[in-house]
Each structure stands twice: as C-alpha cells, then as structure tokens.
Chain A
Amino acid sequence: MSYNIAMVSDFFFPQPGGVESHIYQVSSKLVDRGHKVVIITHSYGDRTGVRYLANGIKVYYVPFWVVYRESALPTVFSFFPILRQIVLRERIDIVHGHGSLSAFCQEGLLHAKTMGLKTCFTDHSLFGFADAASILTNKLLKFTLSDVDHVICVSHTCKENTVLRAALDPFTVSAIPNALVSKDFRPADSPPPPSTITIVVISRLFPNKGCDLLVATIPRICAQHENVRFIIGGSGPKAIDLEQMIEKNVLQDRVEMLGPIRHEDVRNVMIRGQIYLHASLTEAFGTVIVEAASCGLYVVCTQVGGIPEVLPSEMTIFAKPEEDDLVTATSRAIHAIKSGTVRPEMFHDQIRQMYSWTDVAERTEKVYDGIMRLRSSRLIDRLKRYYGCGVWAGKLFVLCAVIDYLLMMFLEFWWPRRNIDVARDWPRKRVIRKESPSQTDAEDPEERNGWVSDMQDQE
C-alpha cells in the first residue's frame, strides 16, 4: 500500500534548519519506500512555483506573505483554495504538517480535515505554558490538533509537552526521533592531539540556546585550564555578547568566532575539536549533539528537554543549566579526554546503528498505516470536538470549522473538481516491504545493493 503524502510547513529549503532537513530526509526515504511525497511551503524570495528535488520530490512554493522569521501570515482561510487545488491534482491521501509555529501547517491541517483527508502532525519544538505567545500558540494548537488523526513528536519529552499543551489523548501521540545522515558526520581520520583540548560550540546564538551561560562559563574554563581553546560557530543576536566577553577577558587567541556555518561545513568544524559543549536552555531533540557524537566528540550538555534521551550516557556528561555545574562538567570532560578514559572516535559506529532516516521513515509509515485504517469523522463529530476546546474558544473554533466547510462548498462550485487537471506522478520505485525488523542503515552500500536486487527479483 503506497500513499500520496503532502508535507505542509512554513519551513523548508532554501532556509537551513532542523525542521527543514527533517522534512526533506523523511520525504526522500518515504519516496524510496514507494510513496509519493509533495512538499507545500511558502515562497522564498524569487523561489516561487513548482520545483522538483532529488528523488522526485515535488515542492510547491506557494506565493504568500511572510510575517515573522519565515512564518506566513496566519490567515485562517486564505490558504484553502490553493491547498485544495494541490490536494486534488496530486491525489493526496495524507496531509502531514510540521512545526507548531507554522501557520501553513495549522491551516493545512484544518482544511485537510474539512476535505475529509487523513492528517498527521509532527511537533519539533517545546513550548512553555506561561508567557503570552505560548498561551496563544497553545490555544491555536489545541484547535488544530483536537481533530488531527495522529501526532508525532521528536522525543518523549516533546511528546509529554505536546500532550499537555494540546490536551491530547497520549495514545494518538508517537515519539519518533530525528536522525542524521551518518556518512556526512564521520570522525576525523587523525584525531587532534590531546595536548591542546579544543571545545566546539555550534548553535544559533539566541537566548534560548544558552548563550548567556556560555558568556559566563567560557572565561572560567579558560582560567582553570591551560591549553583549552574554544571554537564558536553560528550567528544571532547574542554574538555581540560573546564578542564583548572575549574582549573583556582578552581571550582573542583562545576563543575563535567563526560566524554562520553552512550545514555541510559543520563536520569540518567539529572534527577540529575533542569536546562539544551544548548549553541550550530548551531543546526538543538536539540533532546537533548527535552530529557531534557521530563526529567523534565527547559531548557536554545541559540536562534539559529531550536531550537526555538522545545519546547513551557514556557519550555525554550532563550538567544542570547553571554556571557552576556546567564548569564542573566541562572540567570533568577535559580530564577524561586527557586521561584517555573515553574513546570518542568509537562513537560513530554506535550512532550509525542508532540513528537513520530509513528507520524514521519506516516508523512514520507505520503511523500512516494506522491512520489510514481510521474512519474519517463526520462534520458533527468534528464540531463536537472543537466545541470542547474552551468556553469562548470552543464557539469560535466551531464557527471557523463551519465557515471552512461552507468555503469548501463554494470552492467546489467555483472551481469544480472535474476542471482540475491531475498531475503526472514521478515514476515510483517498486519496493518489496521487508517483514523482518528494520535494518537501520541505509547509507551502507551493501544495503543499497540488496535493495536493488530486491527490485530486480520482483521484475
């Protein structure tokens, strides 16, 4: 059984980031497994219209206004006509939204439900419950998620968070972690000598990534240990604080600021060091620490969010998100590297066994199998669910859902189904699904060959 899947999100290439690469990698692996995947996102600059990516993934860059940090303007209904066109012409079965801050995703899920499609949502971030922005987002999320067939979270912590925020039944929520392309994150052929310890920090320099912690700890670590150097990659509003710190403590020869780093250069920066320091204050998954461990770095990280689930304990030293504890933890890591009690260069093979996108795609596919078996709900059931969302909000949501339904009627009249051309599919790959438990490594050439021979057998 193969499905036609539409991934809807505001965040996609050419913008770099975790959600973006997640969507691309999962889509690519799903295509490998014989599904058809279409990605719907808003236009980026002059990148408007329909494009194809490698593996025959079709991307619709819908012309839309962008309001804040590449999020489209949250209009409730304006996306419906185009979404309907795309869904009909691509014969979509499942609409899969990504990222709770994406207006496109929220709208897409609502309209898809109105059109009677199956929906799925992947949450990539953690949110608080207290500040105004979070409350608003949570309310909106409650609206769209109260009717979504299944929710995927990137870690168990994230799952807990989402269940609480959107008041979901935990049985409809799965945790499927992110993965990485492990062959892009091989350790250095010759590891740097342990005489000078180099600590690498790669992160967007925003307050929530713990830049203030870095500003406080780096001078102390430099004072305690000689022969310790820092490499900091990334850009953001907190870069200026770090630069001030360097100048104040005269650390120009020990702390190197690289500025923004492209994702494909991350490995080249990482292999220059032995320790990776991650001081984030909130993190749903933390792909970057998996990448660091895969590159053969010993990871020092704060014990927040989904980070503790990501790596086995022998690869990491955890610290509380505070200055003193982070300094102690880093010192322990420096001693461990100097004394040779940890062998970070062995991490790569372990990580390769643990994380692969093929595995992620396989698990996502199981979610799809599950939701395709569900019966689509009637309008009145949906309205009941929306009504239960809150005293005032419930009524508002019901109103939105009803207008959405009427809008669909109007669209059916104005642009009838029979006048919409069905697009030709990219030639699908023929795949025999293996019933045996997943073989996690697709990057392995032998695995690839086995796969090809499977295809030949079928022919």
Chain B
Amino acid sequence: MGFSPNTTVSCVAASIPTFCFGLNFSATNIQQQLCFTRAGKTCGRLLEATQKGRKLNFWMEQEKEAAQKPVLPGLRVRNPTPSTIEYTVTTRPEKWSRRFTTTLVLKAIVLGIILFFILLKQDYCDNGLQDGLRNSVLNLKPDIRPRHLDLLRGKVHWYYLALLGFSGIWIASLRGYTEESLLVLRGLGVQVTTSSSSYFVKANTRFIPTSTIQDIFIHEGFVGFEVRFYLAIVIRDESEVVVVFPKLLPRREILENVWRGSRSLYEPEVKAQ
C-alpha cells in the first residue's frame, strides 16, 4: 500500500474530529506541524505520523468497541478522549429488534392509510369534473369502487383530512423512546441532554460550566407513587438543582457509576478511573 502525505494527514485530521470533541485543537496542531516540516525530514515524520495514526485508529476502534458494550444494562458510556466522557441512558430499541420493527411498520401503516384517504378524496373530487380533466392517481372506475368507500369519501371534508394528515405526520415523527445523556468535559463543564419526544423538535440541552457547579449528588425523592433515586447538579446562585436524566430516572447502580465518573472528571486533581 503506497501512501501519499495528503491522504495520511487528512485521514488523521478527519478521523479525530468525528470521534472527539475535545481533541479538535490537537488535530489541527498535527496538521500544521506536518505542513511546516522541511522537505528532508518529511518522509520520516510522515511514517511516524502514519504509524501514530494507525495506532490512534486502532485504539479508537478498541475504544469504540468497548463503548458499544454497555457497562450496565441501560447505560452506554463513550470515552472519546481521555478528558471527555459521555453517559447515555436510553430506551431506544436495538436496530431491527422486534420493538424497532413493530414501531416502524405501525408508522408506515398510519402514513399509508392517511395517504390512501387523501388520494381517495382527490379521486372523488376529480370524478366530479369532466372526464378529460381527470388526473387522479388512484383513478378508480365507478363500477369497481366499493360502495361504502364511495360514501365515506363523499362525506369527509378536506379540513378533516388535513387534520388527519397532520396528526398522522405527528404520530410518525414520534420517537417512541427517550434518550438522555450527560457529557462531561474535564475542566470545562458538563452538558445534560434530554431527547425530545418528536424528531422535529430539538433536544433539550444545557451546558453547565465547571465554575458554576457547586456539587453533584445522588438523592432520593418521591415521583408519583414511587421513591426514585436521582442525580442532581447544584448550580451556584440557582435555587433549583438540575436533575440529570430527569425523564428516565435510571437505577441506582447506573447513577452511582455516572456519579463516580462525573466527579473524577470535573475535579481536575482527581484522576479518571
């Protein structure tokens, strides 16, 4: 395999930012260094860089694999760089699992039915016009049309249909799962994210700088008829704490795991485990 300087550099530079957020600066540094090296030394350096890049890639693959494996059921940990760690708690079904497929099929059925109704309506309207102007998609002949369908589409108004259409789209846009995450950037702060219920709505995200964090703790509270554990962040000069994973409120083992990780990261003097 022959390697040219350009591909190597771009490979290294491109692969890093996609994986990690914290290493952006260092990646550009490598690029600059490589660009400004003198021609005589370029070859050796590049070889070194490639090996480093390979190593880095290999390490990242390992890391990626490790990240895929859940530490605890329901918790996913991503550790893209030594100073970043992301904890994700989710109810998202596995791809092509039974729940995933069922949801997909149900959504398709809902959308299909609505589409069918709209076309039927259009067909009906067009049939009121002259034969020459017909451009309906379904183009059902009057004699093969079932009677009750005929009756139905005659009665359905356009605005009902519009309502139905929008609600169908809304149903199809529902996520059907909740995903909440805590991203800890050592020395910078933490970012809490809660996914929205719909694909159209942005996720609810909040970044909390380390300087405003007073404490992170696990406590218990009453939620409906239950007593649940929660992980909370105390912010300076705010009367209310920020609850991490507010919708899912995961189990105690998960919270303890996250708590340990978050503490070790937001206190720079403590080494990450």
A interface residues with partner B (beta carbon < 8 Å): 48-50, 60, 62-63, 81-82, 85-86, 89, 415, 421-424
Contact = CB atoms under 8 A, between A and B. Distances in A.
Contacts of A85: 225-227
B251 A48 contact: no
Contacts of A50: 219-221, 227
B259 to A, nearest CB: 12
Contacts of B219: 49-50
9 contacts: A49-B221, A50-B220, A62-B222, A82-B222, A82-B225, A85-B225, A85-B227, A421-B229, A421-B251
Tell me if A's interface is mostly helix, strand, loop or mixed: mixed
Contacts of A63: 222
Contacts, number: 34
Contacts of B229: 421
B263 interface: no
B252 interface: yes
Nearest to A43: B222
A79 B87 CA distance: 35
Contacts of A415: 225-226
Nearest to B226: A85
A60 B227 contact: yes
A418 B225 CA distance: 16
B227 A86 contact: yes
A49 B227 CA distance: 9
Contacts of A89: 227
Contacts of B221: 49-50
A264 to B, nearest CB: 29
Interface string B236-273: 00000000000000011100000000000000000000
A384 B253 CA distance: 44
Nearest to B254: A421
Nearest to A79: B225
Contacts of A86: 227
A50 B217 CA distance: 14
B220 A48 contact: no
Contacts of A424: 252
Contacts of A81: 225-226
A422 B222 CA distance: 15
Interface string B192-232: 00000000000000000000000000011110011111000
B218 to A, nearest CB: 9
A198 B273 CA distance: 69
A63 B226 CA distance: 11
Nearest to A61: B222
Contacts of A49: 219-222
Contacts of B251: 421
Contacts of B226: 81-82, 85, 415
B44 to A, nearest CB: 57
A4 to B, nearest CB: 15
A302 B220 CA distance: 48
B8 to A, nearest CB: 50
Nearest to B224: A81
A314 B221 CA distance: 52
